[in-house]
Amino acid sequence: MSAPILDRPAFILALTRRLATPLAPEIHLHLADEATELWQKTEEELGRIGLPPPFWAFAWAGGQALARYILDHPELVAGRRVLDFASGSGLVAIATAKAGAASVEASEIDEFALAAIGLNAAQNGVFVAVRAGDLVGIDEGWDVVLAGDVSYQQDMAQAVTRWLAGLAARGASVLIGDPWRSYLALELLEPIVAYSVPVTRALEDSEIKRTGVFRFRHSRPRRPAIDGARASNKGGANGAGRGPGGTRSAT
């Protein structure tokens, strides 16, 4: 194995490009695409340089949907303490900060993702506090908890859903962004809006993913999240898919 990468921010800047997020173009992220060296590397090559699969280098469908929804409905987070769980690139956290949250934390278990979140937040002129480690099972009294693209693997999806359901039951506003993946707990959730999200065919199984923002049934945010006009958007997008290759995570 090659020597470990010590300067993660420099590595990210060298191997990604600053690109607008398709569904939230007001947010720019350091992402990988066909024109970047990172895109060309195989999983074996990434392993040799000590780099986990770079889920943080892509704007996944669920995160894009959550970001768009928060930007369009800033009253959901304005003045509130927010956690963006499994933040990936930091897209949702950045949207939340732009929407006026009192504080925003972005949690991740990948040290490269933590570095990417810091770079992306600075690029967009906002501050996001990064949290290293798995927060499942922890409740620090957040007012709002956001989770994008966390239903791609069964065991993880079940554990995260139980935790999020508990947070919603005690009064937190919990929103999940997901393109109707196989392990999304639809029996517990209801969609409140749907989008047609541009994605990368090489990573997904289509170029457009029908993606929803969901809340737990019988739970309501402390501030109104949906009025008649917003609810009319429900189900208003086309396309379907299994999710990011069935194996990928991040927002």
Whether 121 is in a domain gets the answer yes
Give pLDDT, residue 50. Answer: 66
> What letter represents residue 14's amino acid?
A
Kindly indicate the confidence band of residue 219, based on its pLDDT and cuts at 50, 70 and 90: low
Kindly indicate the confidence band of residue 205, based on its pLDDT and cuts at 50, 70 and 90: confident
Whether 15 is in a domain gets the answer no
Please give the tally of structural domains in the chain: 1
Whether 86 is in a domain gets the answer yes
Nearest residue to 146 (alpha-carbon basis) of 105, 110, 183: 105
Give pLDDT, residue 141. Answer: 98
Say what the pTM is: 0.82
Whether 246 is in a domain gets the answer no
Whether 146 is in a domain gets the answer yes
**Cα separation, 23 vs 65, whole angstroms:** 7
**Cα separation, 150 vs 136, whole angstroms:** 12
Whether 36 is in a domain gets the answer no
Domain assignment of residue 86, given as a range: 58-231
Whether 24 is in a domain gets the answer no
Element (H, E) at 146: strand 144-148
> Can you tell me which residue has the tokens 């809006």?
193
**Residue 2 DSSP code:** P
Contact 19, 31 (CB under 8 A): yes
DSSP 77-118: TBTSEEEEET-TTSHHHHHHHHTTBSEEEEEES-HHHHHHHH
CATH number at residue 76: 3.40.50.150
pLDDT single digits (tens) 110-163: 999 999 999 999 999 999 999 999 999 999 999 999 999 999 899 999 999 999
Share of the chain above pLDDT 90, in %: 69
Whether 199 is in a domain gets the answer yes
Length of the chain counted residue by residue: 251
